[in-house]
């Protein structure tokens, strides 16, 4: 007969798996289990699809990959024969009816139970219905005398009744492995989702989330628990790898998690900056790049990208290059040098007049009789892109591209020029948000940053009018609305899918809104060829917003 315990100790690990690194993720799980044992845990809870990394996308179509994941889970099960903590771990598995997003509950040298995800998300960044089949409505799992309900991520976000069903069938605690990516304000959304399930089920719920960057997504950790009385029992840190022990006691009205650490959660610009930094660091490191290189123009976008690079990787891994032409101002020379000096990173100057004029000479006969304009301006940008790629090829450094979301929205970027690069840390930040996080960074050093304190982005870069400097006295607002106006219109069109009529009702000029909408649609082909970048808003380009390139619709 199984004794009913009065205390249960559950360790929550928000660790940073690497998609496809099954052996490495198994070792991370083993390390987490060792640490959980040192903390005195009975059970270790890991995040969704931890063994494969999340999201594994079409890797799960490979039978060899599924076989490797199952072998890793079996090995972890064998480890548990030592009498230490049990483990709840996510992995993709091949079932009789197809592939499943699954969880294994492990203890005593074996897999006690398997749990297959029912609610497969198929929106925004999620494509799980494409590669997985739905599981069946679950019952609780008896773990050392405690009946545990184990919903998987999306099952607590919708109203399928999974938590209520588990409660009705005898579950006493809900433990939820998650792969919930960051966007601005996401943690408050998670809290509200969990509170709704706590109220409906009458059970305490522990939300364990993945940490780390995976391509464009950033998983921010911030795992937490709410008791059945709707009180927050503990809150783990955001953007930090961590393991914490939660202690549960059986009381007259059910199980209760004792009050634990309530970590301070960053907000606003700090949260966005740390998300960009974590996503950038993991993209570079997980893909094996030793260093990065970027063009440092003296403008705000390249300056904040340089700061993010140094904070994420350290100054010794960052090379910046000023690529001046005839229209580069002395002010830009000074601003770029001051920024590189403040950050302590390597700084070179490579003039582009020679190669640009060589291109113009080669094209002279063909272009004879035409007016100089956008083509000649773009030659400057494309020359810079070619030089940066040459440096990348020679030294193995990944090129960082620096266009913000405002520019990417309206096509204010040059294909095979300033769009060249392997990753863009500010791709999902509008221009005014770039200014905001730049001012924040000058006043703060984010946790985990490797860069210096103080003003790392010279004040003049923030205060001067932005310019691509591709012709004399050029300013961005010669051809674009003021950025506060542009950003508001774009947020309405992209994030909120508002009609032109409704946007105009906010006080915007009708012709300006129509023009911005036209530019947004027209630039789709450029965005399809752009580098990946960290997702910060609720709807980023790529995973979240998928529009046809060939598209004649206009909201008239």
**First vs last Cα of the chain: how many Å apart?**
73
Q: Are 190 and 180 in contact (CB under 8 A)?
A: yes
DSSP state of 60: G
Catalytic residue among 48, 125, 128, 407: 48
| Half-sphere CA count of 448, side-chain side, radius 13 A | 19
Q: Are 208 and 14 in contact (CB under 8 A)?
A: yes
Q: Are 26 and 69 in contact (CB under 8 A)?
A: no
CA distances from 493 to 194, 231, 410, 480 (A): 30, 38, 12, 16
Catalytic residue among 153, 163, 257, 492: 153
How many angstroms separate the CA atoms of 207 and 200, rounded?
Answer: 16
How many angstroms separate the CA atoms of 505 and 499, rounded?
Answer: 10
Q: CA 288: distance to chain centroid?
A: 18
> Three-state DSSP class for 230?
coil
How many angstroms separate the CA atoms of 362 and 375, rounded?
Answer: 14
Q: Are 352 and 387 in contact (CB under 8 A)?
A: yes
How many angstroms separate the CA atoms of 388 and 297, rounded?
Answer: 13
Active site residue 48: yes
Alpha helices in 41-125 (DSSP H): 63-79
Q: Are 504 and 512 in contact (CB under 8 A)?
A: no
- Tally of CB atoms within 10 A around 122: 11
| Half-sphere CA count of 535, side-chain side, radius 13 A | 26
How many angstroms separate the CA atoms of 175 and 473, rounded?
Answer: 60
Active site residue 153: yes
Quick one: CA torsion of 403, 406, 412, 417, rounded to 10 degrees? 10
By CB atoms closer than 10 A (0-12, 13-18, 19+), residue 542 is middle
Nearest CA among 431, 401, 407, 413 for reference residue 516: 407
Catalytic residue among 28, 70, 117, 427: 117
Q: Are 228 and 191 in contact (CB under 8 A)?
A: no
Active site residue 117: yes
Nearest CA among 316, 238, 229, 246 for reference residue 272: 238
Q: Are 302 and 295 in contact (CB under 8 A)?
A: yes
Q: CA 409, 410, 413: angle at the middle one, nearest 5?
A: 95
> Three-state DSSP class for 81?
helix
The torsion angles phi and psi of 327, rounded to 5 degrees, stand at -95, 0
How many angstroms separate the CA atoms of 415 and 409, rounded?
Answer: 14
Residues that are catalytic:
48, 117, 153
């Amino acid at each position: 007969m199984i004794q009913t315990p009065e205390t249960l100790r559950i360790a929550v690990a928000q660790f940073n798996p690497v998609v496809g690194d099954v052996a490495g993720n198994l070792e991370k799980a083993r390390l987490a289990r060792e640490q959980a044992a040192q903390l005195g845990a009975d059970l270790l809870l890991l995040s969704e699809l931890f063994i494969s990394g999340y999201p594994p996308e079409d890797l799960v179509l490979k039978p060899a990959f599924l076989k490797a994941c199952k072998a890793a889970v079996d090995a972890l099960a064998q480890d548990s024969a030592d009498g230490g903590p049990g483990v709840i771990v996510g992995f993709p598995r091949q079932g009789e009816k197809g592939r499943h997003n699954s969880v294994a509950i492990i203890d005593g040298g074996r897999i006690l139970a398997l749990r297959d995800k029912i609610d497969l998300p198929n929106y925004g960044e999620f494509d799980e219905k494409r590669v997985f089949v739905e599981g069946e409505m679950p019952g609780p799992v008896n773990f050392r005398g405690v009946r545990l309900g184990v919903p998987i991520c999306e099952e607590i976000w919708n109203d399928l009744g999974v938590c209520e069903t588990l409660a009705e069938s005898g579950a006493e605690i809900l433990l939820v492995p998650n792969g919930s990516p960051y966007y601005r304000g996401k943690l408050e959304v998670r809290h509200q989702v969990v509170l709704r399930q706590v109220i409906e089920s009458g059970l305490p719920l522990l939300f364990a989330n993945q940490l780390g960057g995976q391509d464009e997504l950033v998983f921010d950790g911030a795992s937490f628990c709410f008791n059945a009385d709707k009180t927050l029992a503990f809150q783990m840190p955001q953007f930090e790898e961590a393991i914490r022990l939660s202690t549960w006691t059986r009381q007259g009205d059910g199980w209760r998690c004792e009050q634990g650490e309530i970590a301070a959660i960053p907000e606003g610009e700090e949260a966005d900056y740390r998300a960009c930094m974590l996503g950038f660091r993991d993209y570079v490191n997980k893909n094996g790049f030793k260093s990065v290189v970027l063009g440092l123009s003296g403008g705000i976008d390249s300056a904040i990208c340089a700061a993010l690079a140094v904070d994420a990787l350290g100054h010794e891994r960052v090379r910046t290059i000023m690529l001046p032409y005839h229209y580069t101002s002395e002010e830009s020379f000074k601003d770029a040098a001051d920024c590189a000096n403040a950050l302590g990173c390597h700084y070179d100057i490579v003039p582009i007049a020679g190669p640009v004029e060589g291109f113009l000479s080669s094209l002279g006969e063909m272009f004879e009789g035409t007016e100089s304009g956008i083509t000649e301006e773009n030659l400057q940008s494309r020359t810079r892109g070619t030089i940066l790629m040459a440096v990348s090829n020679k030294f193995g450094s990944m090129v960082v591209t620096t266009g913000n979301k405002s520019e990417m929205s309206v096509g204010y970027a040059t294909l095979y020029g300033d769009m060249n690069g392997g990753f863009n840390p500010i791709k999902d930040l509008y221009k005014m948000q770039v200014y905001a996080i730049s001012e924040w960074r000058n006043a703060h050093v984010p946790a985990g940053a490797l860069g210096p304190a103080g003003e790392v982005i010279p004040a003049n870069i923030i205060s001067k009018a932005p310019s691509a400097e591709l012709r004399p006295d050029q300013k961005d607002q010669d051809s674009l609305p003021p950025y506060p106006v542009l950003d508001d219109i774009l947020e309405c069109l992209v994030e909120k899918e508002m009609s032109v009529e409704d946007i105009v009702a906010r006080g915007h000029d009708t012709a300006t809104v129509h023009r911005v909408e036209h530019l947004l649609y027209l630039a789709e082909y450029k965005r399809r060829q752009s580098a990946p970048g960290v997702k910060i808003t609720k709807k980023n380009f790529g995973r979240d917003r998928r529009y046809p390139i060939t598209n004649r619709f206009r909201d008239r």
